[in-house]
Chains A and B, each alone.
Chain A
Amino acid sequence: MSLLKAENIHKRYGKEEVLKGVSLELERGETMVVIGPSGTGKSTFLRCINQLTQPDKGRVWLDGVEVTHPKSSINKLRAQMGFVFQDFNLFSHLNTLRNVSIGLIKVKGMRKEDARKLAMKELERVGLDDKIDSYPAQLSGGQQQRVSIARALAMEPKLILFDEPTSALDPELIGEVLEVMINLAKDGMTMLVVTHEMGFARAVADEIVFMEHGVIVEQGSPQQMFSAPKHPRTGEFLNKITELYGETE
């Protein structure tokens, strides 16, 4: 049984149908990278998975539990799905440690001391255990994004959804975030990543999904997608994106 299953997800904003029936399955421990032009519904799709956006139609299962079921306890299920935002969305009024531990205390009901220990552990994992007293505004973009990854990790999620995690970063700060993500993938974290970083996709993706105009055009292993795409649009897009962003991490 796959860890995550999305079936026929539809979402419409006014007249525009952003998602026109997207389905995919993600196995435990897999890293799946979603690519595609801007405005093709990649972010909307991620948000439909953890119900930050309510899909109009379609169903989502996490580890066999239907997330989209009207009677599902969505807050509990969301806590099992980490979400990393493009613009970090750290809690401005809390220091680094509290940003990571607040979910443990308020959502999981953990004791403050235990939450602190676990938060420290996750901050060490992203290399920021020396910044626990800093506030988000005192950190660089790359550091903020690493804190937000630690915040997601601390909840001990079954998978993490990444919504263009490096798109808001200065080029020289992208590497430190990708490094953390690559290590997560190697440690066996299940990840669904929307990104334009082809170097990352090539290095760790088990599967690449190409989305355009609200549908999945093609999906396959990085090798197949990069060297022998079946659909002409996939090839065009990959060429363009590699030109634009390069392949280095």
Chain B
Amino acid sequence: MVFDLAWLPKLSQGLVLTLQITTACIAMGIVLGILLALGRVYGNRLISTPCSIYIQIFRGTPLLVQLLMVYYGLPSWGIYPSAFISGILALGLNTGAYQAEYLRGAIQAVNPGQLMAARAIGMTLPQAIRYIVLPQAFRIVIPSWSNELILMVKYSSIVFSITLLDLMGVGRRIAMRNFRYFEVFIVVALFYLALIFIISQLLRLLEQRVRIPGLGEQAEQR
């Protein structure tokens, strides 16, 4: 096996694009996920049904199909998103659906009595959701959210199929020129592995930092 240090600068450029796309689509997914989850849990039928349908569609169809529809499909409606925007849009719309489901589960895991107690001291429903329910739901959702983040780092590699030179795209281009597919993709894989290791460690740190003192300790004491 022969490796070449000259690949590294190019791969690093690809890594930057991977990071940009992942960060942007995760951010978009969080906003979308919160709105969809709130719509599903607290909305009336007029709001919750469209949210459910959206989630079903985006979880029930392949991500690659969604990506190609955005990039090649939207132009037929006169919208011409760049490959970069298409990648973020498709990945963000997709992860939004998944994040909504995780967050919905977390919201429903918060003891409903606390929402009632918040209403009982005179908070409006939006206040009770914002100050009492969501802060707890966010803590509960961190583990599944960190899974989703890791998945999105890896799924972002499909944007190579719409000509983007992300980590995967760069690797593929290098390999097509020198035919050292195996070696190049080993390096690409190591890049992903390192990135995901760092992300999961950061999220574990976050989880510990926001842990609620005393919660979950009682079972151990007994």
Contacts and interface: CB of A to CB of B under 8 A. Distances in A.
Contacts of A151: 117, 121
Contact of B114 (A80, A91, A137): A91
Nearest to A103: B121
Interface residues of B, number: 25
Contacts of B113: 85, 87, 89
Tell me the dominant secondary structure on chain B's binding face.
helix
Contacts of B111: 89, 92
A201 to B, nearest CB: 24
Interface stretch (B50-58, B74-82, B209-217): B209-217
B117 A107 contact: no
Interface string A38-58: 000000000000101000000
Given A85-B117, A89-B111, A89-B114, A106 B123 contact: yes
B146 to A, nearest CB: 19
A105 to B, nearest CB: 9
A15 interface: no
A177 interface: no
B118 interface: yes
A137 B212 contact: yes
B135 to A, nearest CB: 5
Interface of B: 111, 113-114, 116-124, 127, 131-132, 135-136, 139, 212-218
Nearest to A98: B131
B115 to A, nearest CB: 9
B120 A50 contact: yes
B215 A135 contact: yes
A81 B120 CA distance: 8
A89 B116 contact: yes
A75 B214 CA distance: 32
A138 B121 contact: no
Nearest to A108: B122
A106 B131 contact: yes
* Among A90, A91, A102, A138, residue most surrounded by chain B Cβ atoms (within 10 Å): A91
B122 A137 contact: no
Contact of A155 (B122, B135, B136): B122
A90 B136 CA distance: 12
A107 B123 contact: yes
A83 B131 contact: no
Contacts of A75: 119, 122-124
B209 to A, nearest CB: 13
Given A89-B111, A92-B114, A137-B213, A52 B120 contact: yes
